[in-house]
Amino acid sequence: MSSSRGSLPRYIAVRTLLVIPMMWVLLTMVFILLRVAPGDPVTAAAGGKLSADEIARRQAALGLDQPLFQQYLDYLGDVVRFRFGNAISDGTPVTTLIRDHGGATLTLTIGAFIFAVGVGVPLGRWAGRHRDTIIDAPIRLLGIVVYAAPVFWMGILLILLIGNLWPSWPTSGIASPQAIFEVPTHTHILLVDAAIDGTYFWDVLQHHLLPCFVLGLLLAGVIVRLVRINVIQTMQADYVEAARARGISERVVVRDHAFRNALVPVVTVIGLQVALTLSGAVLTENTFNWPGLGTDLVDYVIARDYVAVQGLVTFFALIVVIVSVVVDVINALIDPRVRY
Amino acid sequence: MVTAVKRKLGALLGVSVLAVGMAACSDTPPPASEDREPLGVNYSTGDPAADSSDEWTLGTTDTITAVDPAGAYDFGSWNLQYQMFQTLVSVPANGSEPEPDAASCAYDDPQTITCDLDEGLTFANGNELTSSDVKYSLERNIAINDPNGSAILLGSIIDDSNPDKPVLAKGAVETPDDTTVVFHLNKPDLTFLKVLSTATASIVDEEVYPANKELADTDEHSGSGPYVLAQYKDGVQATFELNENYAGPHPGIAPRVYVSYYKDDASLASDIKKGAIDIAWRSLSPTQQQGLADDGVAVLKGNGSEFRYWVWDMNEGAGTEAAVRQAVAQVLDRDQISANAYDGTVTPSYSIVPPGFGGQKDSFMDVYGDPDVDAATALLEDAGVETPVALKLGYPQEHYGPNAVDEATEIAEQLNDTGLFDVTTETGEWEQYQTDYKKDAYDLFMLGWYPDFLDADNYLSPFVVDGGFFANGYSNDEVNTLVDEELAETDEAARDEIIGQIQDIVAEDVPLIPSWNGANIAAVGEGMGGVQDTLDPTYIFRFWMITKS
């Protein structure tokens, strides 16, 4: 018993320490992949304009003529000191990018999560309760379709659809030009700033709805299927049978016994969907001209901007790793067997 | 209402399913190129500018590298700078020669320019603009030497004895008093006055801009142009307001202008169509232009200077044989390229210098005339070249837009149809593509060009002097000498004559084949005036000419 009591802090410590090799492997992979890919920031920007000599001179000015191992050591050294540097292609500090554009990605992903949970959980519960009925089949199909359909494809279809049905509904950008200019910056999260300022809130919210809905659909597909299968499994558990045997109504059995227990693994898995959401956000942002970090990442990959890509991927990786550690810890708190 | 929406949704889904099904089942091949009808876009003419204006919004897919003039060498950044900063001289809309802006400038001789600044010029912050600011602006641009910058254009006043640390050459810029600037160029250079009209020579306030460092995009920038940058949000939006202290020749009309940045032309087209923005400019693909025109949006077309061309690899392979290069030039049908690959939105090009530039002549038309397979056959036979000649065409996947593949395919079809060539096409992502063409992976490869300034030399020196910037192996001493001569020639007629001679030699040697010249296109919403007037080959979008009523 004493060893099990002491194992939780130890588990957390070990789990946290494991973040270091995880991050190291990831950063190394990013570094290698960027260098293996053809091209460099200079040729990407001005390769169709400058002579070979001028390109070489500019590469040297950026230190790209240094040995790869030296560049790698410099890169790791900067990461350890939390120095993300300035983007090569436009000189913007990566920390400024994260500060200014992270808010757009944050509101997009949180909005998508709210939609996904708000729609996915009730639908999954409903389908699970009515397994193999006319209610279950379309919900199950919907879950598969929205999960399998590429998020950008879904986005483009909805842009076309909404553009035809409600031409005035915004289908790109985060707000109208007037709102972007007029809303003062408090938090660098435009939706929050508009709410604080009390101006243009509906304008900004309106711009959020469609992108959040599209990204939320992707997540909702996962959640619907997950909730459904867990509700079905718990409905077959002995304690549910016992509840039924005691004459408790089916509605109460589902709500108080089956559904709540079914949610435990769902919460864990939803936490792990952060990585899926972030990758979906990259595509969603590009589809909706959304000024977030996903859009930046694509632009900087195209520009072969090593510094910006490395910085942004490190930031994304940190978020995913932190969330996964938190989820693991919560899991360990809920289920003591995890600690062993 | 709900029923109607349901009906629409149902109909849309039904049509989608039907369309997907038909597409999957159809075995009808797409029409061959000769069967395709060129679509063509019905371009509008646009309205003139009004006396007053509401605020308006421009949408563009251009990106911004830097707001500070020392840090940029791209259309997006330069167009911000043209609104905020003055230059000594500027090129008027649809003009080609620089006219006075902050100063009146003239050549004393091919190596000396004297500029007299206007009296009473101030920056938006109230600081006086003097000759010292002019010299300082050029000096810091050269000293900062940003890898993304355009200091390279100032070569005629640079001392690059230490290539890693270029500086303004000693005595290259003199400021004898507050309103006089004298340039002493290190070589005869009649294009330098045009360089002074570009954003690389933007005049910045020496009390605001650091000497060896760029201001951040979000810092407060202060120029003396017709507008001030009121807000800049990277990748999202730039907002301009009138400069109350502006004393130059072209004051702005609209009190505020928003520039919204887009990632792709589909969103740009969608927003101009629904009225979310007032102008969509740079860049709308031919497909989007067509779609907008069909939807009743006014699409305006002005003269452009975009140049698309195909470079022969003369280091190795089929391109080393002059007869092969000439035979291809002999059979290429540029009208069909324009019609089939670009819906007729581009103009066939018969010279490396686009129309409208001094000395331009259609040398390729003069030498080869209309496409002629018999003449091409004779060229190859006389040179003893065995046919079909295997050729590998290269083009970049995305860099020049979705129609590049159509152009490459059209050219391959045309050449293969002659029976003289066996052409295959290959593509690569832009980065890989550049590596490949430098390694002689293609016999003939596609490149595009926008000029830095409006002068025929900007289409000659970079392309035909010792292999050009693409190092394709072409070298002709006579061409090199003629280029030096035209750069130094002060007599306009004589210079045009030399430029014509260079084009003739290039048409004979065929180190590259001109394909087409692009236009300057904008789609505009209701009530916009003056847009047509600013659409010219400089690709400067002059906010001060635009009104919204």
Q: Can you give the three-state secondary structure of chain A, one letter per residue?
A: CHHHHHHHHHHHHHHHHCHHHHHHHHHHHHHHHHHHCCCCHHHHHHCCCCCHHHHHHHHHHCCCCCCHHHHHHHHHHHHHCCCCCECCCCCCEHHHHHHHHHHHHHHHHHHHHHHHHHHHHHHHHHHHHCCCCCCHHHHHHHHHHHHHCCHHHHHHHHHHHHHHHCCCCCCCCCCCHHHHHHCCCCCCCHHHHHHHHCCCHHHHHHHHHHHHHHHHHHHHHHHHHHHHHHHHHHHCCHHHHHHHHCCCCHHHHHHHHHHHHHHHHHHHHHHHCHHHHHHHHHHHHHHCCCCCHHHHHHHHHHCCCHHHHHHHHHHHHHHHHHHHHHHHHHHHHHCHHHHC
Q: Taking the CA atoms of chain A, what radius of gyration do you get in angstroms?
A: 24
With bands split at pLDDT 50, 70 and 90, how would you rate the model's confidence at A323? Answer: confident
Average pLDDT, chain A: 87
Residue A221 lies in a domain: yes
Residues from chain A contacting residue B235 (CB–CB below 8 Å):
101, 291, 295-296, 299
pLDDT score recorded for residue A192: 97
Q: What percent of chain A has pLDDT over 70?
A: 96
Rounded average pLDDT over A214-220: 92
- The reply to whether residue B239 touches residue A181, judged by beta carbons under 8 angstroms, is yes
Residue A14 lies in a domain: no
Residue A185 lies in a domain: yes
- The reply to whether residue A161 touches residue B9, judged by beta carbons under 8 angstroms, is yes
Number of domains in chain A: 1
Residues from chain A contacting residue B400 (CB–CB below 8 Å):
none
With bands split at pLDDT 50, 70 and 90, how would you rate the model's confidence at A244? Answer: confident
- The reply to whether residue B270 touches residue A163, judged by beta carbons under 8 angstroms, is yes
Residues from chain B contacting residue A172 (CB–CB below 8 Å):
262, 267, 270-271, 276
Would you say residue A34 has pLDDT above 70?
A: yes
Rounded average pLDDT over A221-240: 90
With bands split at pLDDT 50, 70 and 90, how would you rate the model's confidence at A5? Answer: low
Gap between the Cα atoms of A337 and A123, Å rounded: 31
Residues from chain B contacting residue A282 (CB–CB below 8 Å):
none
- The reply to whether residue A39 touches residue B163, judged by beta carbons under 8 angstroms, is no
Looking up tokens 């201001």 gives B215
Residue A43 lies in a domain: no
Would you say residue A2 has pLDDT above 50?
A: no
B113 closest CA partner among B55, B194, B33: B194
* Grouped pLDDT means (10 residues each) for chain B, 549 residues: 43 40 38 46 90 95 93 93 98 93 97 96 97 98 90 93 89 97 95 96 97 90 96 94 96 97 92 95 92 95 94 96 98 96 93 92 96 97 96 92 93 97 94 88 95 92 90 94 93 95 97 96 96 95 97
Residues from chain B contacting residue A289 (CB–CB below 8 Å):
262-264, 267
pTM of the model: 0.87
- From the number of C-beta atoms within 10 Å of its C-beta (0-12, 13-18, 19+), residue B325 rates as buried
Residue A10 lies in a domain: no
ipTM here: 0.84
- Name the amino acid, one letter, at A171: T
The residue of B148, B228, B463, B474 whose CB has the most chain A CBs within 10 angstroms, and thus the best one to mutate to test that interface, is B148
Question: Could you tell me the CATH number of the domain that includes residue A154?
Answer: 1.10.3720.10
With bands split at pLDDT 50, 70 and 90, how would you rate the model's confidence at A336? Answer: low
Residue A265 lies in a domain: yes
Cβ–Cβ contact B245 with A under 8 A: no
Residue A253 lies in a domain: yes
pLDDT tens for residues A99-153?
999 999 999 999 999 999 999 999 999 999 899 899 999 999 999 998 888 888 9
Query: The domain containing residue A160 runs over which residues?
Result: 101-302
- The reply to whether residue B9 touches residue A180, judged by beta carbons under 8 angstroms, is no
- The reply to whether residue B239 touches residue A164, judged by beta carbons under 8 angstroms, is no
Residues from chain A contacting residue B12 (CB–CB below 8 Å):
161, 164
Residue A276 lies in a domain: yes
- The reply to whether residue A296 touches residue B8, judged by beta carbons under 8 angstroms, is no
pLDDT score recorded for residue A6: 57
Please state which of the ranges A188-192, A253-257, B79-83 shows the lowest mean pLDDT.
A253-257
Handedness of CA B357, B358, B360, B361 (dihedral sign): positive
- The reply to whether residue A39 touches residue B469, judged by beta carbons under 8 angstroms, is no
